[in-house]
Amino acid sequence: MKHRNNLKLNIENKPKKIKNSNSPKRIIIVLILLVLCVFILNKAKNYVIGKAENDINLIINNRNVTEDLKHPIVKENEIIYMSMDDIENYFDKYIYIEEEINEIVTTYDKQIASIGFETNKLTLNGSTKKVQAHAIKKEEVIYLPISEMQEVYNVEMAVSDKNITLDSLDRKQVKAYTKSNLSVKWKADFFSKTVDKVKKGDVLIAIEDVDKGWTKVRTQNGEVGYVKTNKLTNYTTVRDDFIEEKQIQGKVNMFWDYYSKYVKCPDRTGQVIEGVNVVSPSFFYIDEDGEFQDKVGDAGKQYIEWAHSNNYKVWAMVQSDEAGKKTTSTILNSYAKRQELIEKIIEVCVEYQLDGINIDFENMYEADKDKFSRFIIELEPRLNEIGAVLSVDVTAPDGDPNWSLCYDRNVIGHVADYIVFMAYDQYGNSSTKPGTTAGYNWVETNVKKFIDNEDVEPSKIILGMPLYTRQWTIDSNGEIKKDGSGVVSMLNTKIPNNVEKQWDEELKQYYIEYKSGSDTIKMWIEDGTSIAAKVSLVTKYGLAGTSCWRKDMETSNIWSVINTELTKAEQNSSETE
């Protein structure tokens, strides 16, 4: 009995067998759990949409931009409001409050509009119409009634309970029908959250095909998501992308045709200028009283007929020289006067069937830089509306307050169709020492400033070149004589027989120096060689083309020289594309 009890004791005290935690079965279970965790983490993002329940989504051109908005969309009495900050971000970077009229002024493509804070009216391209709302302010944030301004921004709006959609009317839109009832997924994945459900025969906006047989779509409720491509049928293109054809195909080859207010427009009947495709006659100017003056007349009308018969575009010049800084400043600093000037410009463009306008405002106050930019910003959409080109002349960014710092080249280059760099008078009347009118190295340095420092697109820069030089007369004391820097046209440049030309590689010009009595004459020559070198910059930097100041100062070979170089530039541009 004792023996049996001992045996029982031994059995009870025998240690139990411990299971091996590294057994194959346990390892498999752990691996499965790990894979499942990775899968869930990977797919989790497909279940998070990231918007508050009460938010109104804004979809612009099929992209949900709600999370990028600076301020929420506001919906009041069926009016949809968008903050001024967000309109600046998505539609008009130059939108601002014009204090003179206490209204918000905004521009977009072919429209300039203003809307106030009290009355329900919208001024659009000079005409006023009634609308259902005005601008409002909430917690120091300004909101505009975007639902009343669809025409301004050329958009089509659709409104649902939770979504506002804005579609640009110049962008392609394709619709498709559903073959069956579908769940629209947030991501192109069956595991993704359903954002909307659609029925067989519903119409969807087909945005784009994506990998693995999915199509990105937008539902009638404004939800953007994905469905299987094979579930869609009957694709219909509602509209195609609007592609505006440039007025000038290839490089611009232009010249200014200047004549004073006392002289009739030149008669160019029978003339054909090789390679030229744009002419800019000095048809218009602002006088000392701030009045817009039209000097086209019968001679100007014949000039326009001559130009068009040769397939030259006419970008008529508007000058401010006669007005002077003070009068120009008065116009630029008044919203009403800017609009009055713009209306005059539009009127003459329509009356004379002009192809464009060349704004030549020089010698302005540095303090008026932003107001001059506003004038260009407000003029551009009005010219767009009638299909006319806007080009703006500017000087080199060299630091002089009234000749250089009065231009915001970045804004002008962004807004206008072309910005014309008047690359001349490197040394001019005000220079204290003699020098070239336009040395190659100086021109190139400033072209690079336009591109690198001012961030102007090269394809918008027209390089203005001089068809003249200066004859410098230096007295025996080494000083420039009074009136000793006279302009000499290329055509009238005379080099004495006993004077040898010296080539300057940096300037890419010939230089001459000789004695005239006790005086010394110095000249840096502009000719076919120097012009060809400057035109080569069009190829080197991908510029828009050239313009020459001014017609009738050139020798007969110049147009052939320019045309040859610009042809090379066009060929190089085609090869690059």
Best CA proximity match to 421, nearest among 400, 443, 403:
443
Q: What is the pLDDT at residue 40?
A: 54
Best CA proximity match to 419, nearest among 573, 545, 570:
545
Q: What is the pLDDT at residue 44?
A: 52
Q: What is the pLDDT at residue 398?
A: 86
Residue 546 CA to residue 499 CA, distance in Å, equals: 32
Residue partners of 165: CB distance under 8 A and separation at least 6: 59, 60, 157, 158, 159, 218, 222
Sheet of strand 103-108: strand arrangement: 96-98, 103-108, 111-115, 121-124, 127-130
Best CA proximity match to 94, nearest among 353, 380, 505, 439:
380
Q: What is the pLDDT at residue 55?
A: 76
What are the C-alpha distances in Å from 139 to residues 71, 86, 143, 505? Answer: 11, 16, 10, 64
Domain 172-239: state its class: mainly beta
Torsion over CA: 315, 321, 323, 327 (sign): positive
What are the C-alpha distances in Å from 3 to residues 7, 13, 72, 152, 293? Answer: 6, 15, 89, 107, 134
Residue 368 CA to residue 175 CA, distance in Å, equals: 50
In sequence order, what DSSP letters do the residues of 392-435 get, joined into one string? EEE---S--TTTTTT--HHHHHHHSSEEEEE---SS-TT-SS--
Residue 381 CA to residue 421 CA, distance in Å, equals: 22
Ramachandran quadrant class, 425 (left: phi over 0; alpha: psi -120 to 50; beta: rest): left
**CATH code of the domain made up of 57-163:** 3.30.457.10
Q: What is the pLDDT at residue 49?
A: 47
Best CA proximity match to 167, nearest among 235, 241, 236:
241
Q: What is the pLDDT at residue 2?
A: 41
pLDDT along the chain (577 residues), means of 10: 38 44 65 61 51 75 96 96 98 98 98 98 97 97 98 97 96 98 95 96 97 95 97 97 95 97 95 98 98 98 98 98 97 98 98 98 98 98 98 94 97 98 96 97 98 98 98 97 95 96 98 97 98 98 98 98 97 82
Specify whether the CB–CB gap between 466 and 427 falls below 8 A: no
CATH 3.10.20.30 matches 252-467+528-576: no
| Cis peptide upstream of residue 550 (ω within 30 degrees of 0) | yes
Residue 372 CA to residue 338 CA, distance in Å, equals: 9
**Where are the chain's structural domains?**
57-163, 172-239, 252-467+528-576
Residue 83 CA to residue 119 CA, distance in Å, equals: 18
Residue 280 CA to residue 273 CA, distance in Å, equals: 14
